[in-house]
Amino acid sequence: MNEMMKAKLDAAEKQMKKVLDHLRSEFSTIRAGRANPAVLDKIPVDYYGAPTPINQLANVAVSEGRNLLITPYDPSTIRTISKAILASDLGITPTDDGKTIRLAFPQPTEDRRKELAKTVKKYGEEAKVAVRNVRRDLMDSFKKMKKDSAITEDDMNEAEKKVQKLTDRYIEEVEKAVAEKEKEIMSL
């Protein structure tokens, strides 16, 4: 296998790893009943006209397993942060005492858990499609190299096997991540 093919394989593996990392970051924002500061990552707060993540405006800590305690660095932002949380799709009403904001995460109902599990599966399918797209692009590039006589038939066959092995490994990783997240959601 020549250097150019190896470089393309390495680049494809990096792309597949990014897909898996993105999937895991998506999973961290799914509220599964336990307090997790990552659920706030996608909620922008209008701070002097700029959308700013909550974790840049406040200290976010887990207290007693099912509660998040948000302590703004600037106490005047407490109302703005509360409004942003209310406006989000988080589904939790924040309570504040003028200094801190509390988010109490209720135990999700059976229906909500099933809904979350469907969302997890959807994210997993999207990740698998992304991995397969990387495989398709890589194979197209190898076919073009063969057509241009840059690689031999044997190189092409070896590349196909390696690409398929790589794809299978990342598809399996995606399925494993989906199964873990589903188990976490359903075992509350």
The CATH number covering residue 59 comes to 3.30.1360.40
Clarify whether residues 159 and 98 are in a common domain.
Answer: no
The dihedrals phi and psi of 113, each to the nearest 5 degrees, come to -65, -40
For the cut 70, the answer to whether the pLDDT of residue 51 exceeds it is: yes
Residues 6+ apart with CB under 8 A from 26: 123
Q: Are 75 and 99 in contact (CB under 8 A)?
A: yes
For the cut 70, the answer to whether the pLDDT of residue 82 exceeds it is: yes
For the cut 90, the answer to whether the pLDDT of residue 18 exceeds it is: yes
Clarify whether residues 117 and 178 are in a common domain.
Answer: yes
Domains of the chain: total: 2
Quick one: pLDDT at residue 32? Answer: 66
Clarify whether residues 143 and 128 are in a common domain.
Answer: yes
Q: What's the CA gap between 9 and 137, in Å, rounded?
A: 11
For the cut 90, the answer to whether the pLDDT of residue 122 exceeds it is: yes
What is the span of the domain harbouring residue 120?
Answer: 3-29+109-186
Of residues 30 and 58, the one with the higher pLDDT is 58
Percent of the chain with pLDDT over 90: 38
Q: What's the CA gap between 86 and 31, in Å, rounded?
A: 15
In DSSP terms, 72 is beta-bridged to: 58
- Residue after which a domain boundary falls, among 46, 80, 104: 104
- Residue after which a domain boundary falls, among 87, 104, 121: 104
Of residues 188 and 23, the one with the higher pLDDT is 23
> What sign results for the dihedral spanned by CA atoms 137, 139, 145, 148?
negative
Of residues 134 and 153, the one with the higher pLDDT is 134
Clarify whether residues 83 and 139 are in a common domain.
Answer: no
Clarify whether residues 118 and 179 are in a common domain.
Answer: yes
Clarify whether residues 86 and 121 are in a common domain.
Answer: no
Of residues 40 and 167, the one with the higher pLDDT is 167
Of residues 92 and 9, the one with the higher pLDDT is 9
For the cut 90, the answer to whether the pLDDT of residue 123 exceeds it is: yes
Clarify whether residues 179 and 119 are in a common domain.
Answer: yes
Residue range 54-60: mean pLDDT, rounded: 90
Q: What is the dihedral of CA 42, 34, 26, 17, to 10 degrees?
A: 130
Percent of the chain with pLDDT over 70: 97
